[in-house]
């Protein structure tokens, strides 16, 4: 494998905790077994104190089961109601204090239902709620500004809409679904274009600086919706002709073409496609205003030549582009990742982790996997920050990266897992901030489609790496979740520690107060 293309930064991003640049090889600490022998999908594990006793528990989704273990690896309970009718939880569980009782609740979505359960695995009043099949996106945020977290979901079925929002008690929030209620503010058949949400396509955060939380919903076309908390789509920048709302802005690479809303040459002009895009909200240039960061696949405007790599976008709440991203950052090489593989091995989720991994550069870095077998870093000014080749095999994918300091020197590491339809091809990787390989550890069987989680399982101040495996056949004796310890690590610099950046799964990188 090719090493990183950049040296290790010579300044820390976080407070130095007495460590060094040396990161010990992660050691397998625990193997968590799943008595249901279900497959793991895209659900990153969660480490949380479910009952308020001061000791952490671990939860993970397996098929349509949600399982809880104690910090010693003993199974505590499993939530099985979803499995009676649905095949899987696609997205990772959302964990937060929704009901202001100082205890966490858990939200999961499968098929056409979404549940909220307590720390004992019991369904709470007002739930489940039924909506469109299949809900593959679920996240938490206070979108109605009442001071309490809400549940936001997106569905692969876009009729009449992909987006819905519920209070913690299970009531539908006013203005949702936006198109069906008329709150959207544009005609979804004329100047706004809605398609299904087929992956973890939702982000929640304050897009325009008004102190209220908004919603980003990427979808299965070249358009993306930015919504206020009342369901209304954000106004588009006036430069986009006859496109009053952001849902009408077509993400053609050439800004001139995007302004007019159509390609001049359908066979050659390029555009984004956001089917598997997981958007991020972050202030990458540190100007005090949040941007929307998206990694999309690239295709021609005629949509008959789709294997053209990925493009990285950074836009404002009105879909105008940051100066450094007037042309999106295009990584054109294509190895694999756009299409599902055999055996329910799903296509790559286009996730972007945003974090300060190089304190010598202004702004935040964007770290992501392309369709080229590489992990890339892009600086806030749009310049290339290096790359690492993790595979040259078209049957090896990754779900995305996590970011955290595993050595206590204040400089973060990059961690990710790979997966494949072929046994023995998958690994857990640890890279330094320059993209240089530190460790590569064999994973069992088909690897892990889920983004790993960095968390302190035992409460001893050190970080564990949790990996939810792809499959656990009943006769294999293989674990559902692997827990690796990193003895030298500290918990003070976990910048993007799990899928979607946090347990709200809102992908909002907040500025420091």
- pLDDT tens string 248-284: 999 999 999 999 999 999 999 999 999 999 999 999 9
What is the SS3 string spanning 246-261? Answer: HHHCCCECCHHHHHHC
Report how far apart the first and last C-alpha atoms of the chain are (Å, whole number). Answer: 41
Question: If pLDDT is split at 50, 70 and 90, which confidence band does 13 have?
Answer: confident
Instruction: Let me know: does 162 contact 176? Beta carbons within 8 Å.
Output: no
Beta strands in 91-194 (DSSP E): 94-96, 105-110, 113-117, 129-130, 135-141, 150-155, 163-166
Q: Among 272, 296, 292, 276, which Cα is nearest to 284's?
A: 292
Q: Helices (H), strands (E): how many in the chain?
A: 2, 33
Question: If pLDDT is split at 50, 70 and 90, which confidence band does 308 have?
Answer: very high
Query: Token pair for residue 339?
Result: 């299409």
**What would the mean pLDDT of 372-380 be, rounded to a whole number?**
98
Q: Among 185, 181, 147, which Cα is nearest to 167's?
A: 147
- Sorted by sequence, the CB contacts under 8 Å of residue 76 that are 6+ apart come out as 57, 68, 69, 70
pLDDT digits (tens, 9 = 90+) for 446-483: 999 999 999 999 999 999 999 999 998 777 778 999 99
2 pLDDT above the threshold of 60: no
Mean confidence (pLDDT) of the chain: 95
- Judge: domain 47-395, CATH 2.130.10.10: yes
Q: How many residues does the chain have?
A: 513
Cis peptide preceding 134, ω within 30 of 0: yes
**What is the C-alpha to C-alpha distance for residues 4 and 42, in angstroms, rounded to an integer?**
27
Question: If pLDDT is split at 50, 70 and 90, which confidence band does 5 have?
Answer: low
Instruction: Let me know: does 151 contact 95? Beta carbons within 8 Å.
Output: no
**What is the C-alpha to C-alpha distance for residues 378 and 251, in angstroms, rounded to an integer?**
20
Instruction: Let me know: does 408 contact 22? Beta carbons within 8 Å.
Output: no
Cα dihedral 376, 350, 91, 455 in deg (nearest 10):
10
* Mode of pairing for the β-strands spanning 291-300 and 270-273: antiparallel
DSSP 100-114: SSSS-EEEEEETTEE
Query: Token pair for residue 87?
Result: 């095949």
The owner of tokens 């929704």 is 98
**What would the mean pLDDT of 131-158 be, rounded to a whole number?**
96
What is the model's pLDDT at position 8? 66
50 pLDDT above the threshold of 50: yes
Q: Among 61, 104, 96, 47, which Cα is nearest to 494's?
A: 47
6 pLDDT above the threshold of 70: no
> pLDDT above 70 covers what percent of the chain?
98
Q: What is the CA radius of gyration of the chain?
A: 21
Q: Among 300, 324, 320, which Cα is nearest to 312's?
A: 324
pLDDT digits (tens, 9 = 90+) for 341-352: 999 999 999 999
Instruction: Let me know: does 309 contact 295? Beta carbons within 8 Å.
Output: no
Phi and psi at 152, nearest 5°, equal: -115, 130
**CA 392 and chain centroid, separation:** 24
Query: Token pair for residue 471?
Result: 């499959």
What is the model's pLDDT at position 187? 84
**What would the mean pLDDT of 55-74 be, rounded to a whole number?**
97
What is the model's pLDDT at position 213? 98
**Element of type H or E holding 180:** helix 178-181
Question: If pLDDT is split at 50, 70 and 90, which confidence band does 10 have?
Answer: low
What is the model's pLDDT at position 218? 98
Instruction: Let me know: does 277 contact 359? Beta carbons within 8 Å.
Output: no
**Cβ count near 20 (within 10 Å):** 10
**Cβ count near 186 (within 10 Å):** 21
- Sorted by sequence, the CB contacts under 8 Å of residue 230 that are 6+ apart come out as 144, 174, 175, 183
pLDDT digits (tens, 9 = 90+) for 77-117: 999 998 888 889 999 999 999 999 999 999 999 999 999 99
Query: Kindly report the CA angle at 23 between 369 and 44, in degrees rounded to 5?
Result: 45
1 pLDDT above the threshold of 60: no
What is the model's pLDDT at position 4? 59
Query: Kindly report the CA angle at 287 between 285 and 288, in degrees rounded to 5?
Result: 120
- Sorted by sequence, the CB contacts under 8 Å of residue 201 that are 6+ apart come out as 136, 137, 154, 217, 218, 219, 274, 277, 278, 279
Model confidence, pTM: 0.96
**Element of type H or E holding 314:** strand 310-315
150 pLDDT above the threshold of 60: yes
Domain boundaries, the chain: 47-395
DSSP 181-200: HTTT-S-TTTT-------SS
**What would the mean pLDDT of 320-336 be, rounded to a whole number?**
98
């Amino acid at each position: 494998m090719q090493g990183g293309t950049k040296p290790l930064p010579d300044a820390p991003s976080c407070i130095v905790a007495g460590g060094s640049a040396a990161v010990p090889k992660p050691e397998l600490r625990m193997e968590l077994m799943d008595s249901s022998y279900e497959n793991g999908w895209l659900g990153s594990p969660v480490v949380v104190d479910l009952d308020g006793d001061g000791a952490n528990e671990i939860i993970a989704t397996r098929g349509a089961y949600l399982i809880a273990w104690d910090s010693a690896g003993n199974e505590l309970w499993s939530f099985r109601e979803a499995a009676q009718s649905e095949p899987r939880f696609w997205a990772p569980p959302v964990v937060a204090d929704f009901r202001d009782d100082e205890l966490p609740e858990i939200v999961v979505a499968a098929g056409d239902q979404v549940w909220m359960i307590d720390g004992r695995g019991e369904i709470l009043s007002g739930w489940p709620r039924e909506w469109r099949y299949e809900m593959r996106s679920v996240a938490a945020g206070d979108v109605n500004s009442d001071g309490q977290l809400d549940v936001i979901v997106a569905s692969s079925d876009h009729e009449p809409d992909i987006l819905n929002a519920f209070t913690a008690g299970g009531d539908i929030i006013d203005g949702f679904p936006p198109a069906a209620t008329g709150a959207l503010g544009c005609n979804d058949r004329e100047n706004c274009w809605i398609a299904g949400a087929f992956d973890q396509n939702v982000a929640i955060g304050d897009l325009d600086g008004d102190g209220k939380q908004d919603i980003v919903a990427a979808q299965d076309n070249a358009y993306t919706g930015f919504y206020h908390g009342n369901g209304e789509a954000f106004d588009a920048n006036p430069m986009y002709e006859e496109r009053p709302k952001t849902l009408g802005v077509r993400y053609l690479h050439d800004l001139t073409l995007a302004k007019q809303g159509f390609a001049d040459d359908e066979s050659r002009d390029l555009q984004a496609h956001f089917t598997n895009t997981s958007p991020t909200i972050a202030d990458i240039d540190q100007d005090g205003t949040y941007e929307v960061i998206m990694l999309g696949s690239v295709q021609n405007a005629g949509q008959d030549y789709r294997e053209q790599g990925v493009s990285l976008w950074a836009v404002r709440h009105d879909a105008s582009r940051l100066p450094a991203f007037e042309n999106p950052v295009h990584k054109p090489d294509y190895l694999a990742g756009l299409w599902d593989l055999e055996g329910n091995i799903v296509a790559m989720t286009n996730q972007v982790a945003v974090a300060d991994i190089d304190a010598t550069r202004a702004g935040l870095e964007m770290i992501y996997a392309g369709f080229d077998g590489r992990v890339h870093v892009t600086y806030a000014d749009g310049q290339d920050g290096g790359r690492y080749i993790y595979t040259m095999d078209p049957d090896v994918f990754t779900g995305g990266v996590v970011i955290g300091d595993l050595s206590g020197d204040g400089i973060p590491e990059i961690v990710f897992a790979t997966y494949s339809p072929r046994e023995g091809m998958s690994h857990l990787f640890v890279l330094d901030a320059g993209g240089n390989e530190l460790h590569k550890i064999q994973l069992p069987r088909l690897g892990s489609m889920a983004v790993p989680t960095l968390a302190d399982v035992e409460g001893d101040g050190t970080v564990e790496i949790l990996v939810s495996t792809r499959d656990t056949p009943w006769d294999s004796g293989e674990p559902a979740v692997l827990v690796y310890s990193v003895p030298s690590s500290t918990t003070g610099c976990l910048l993007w520690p799990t899928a979607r950046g946090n347990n709200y799964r809102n992908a909002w990188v907040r500025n420091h107060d």
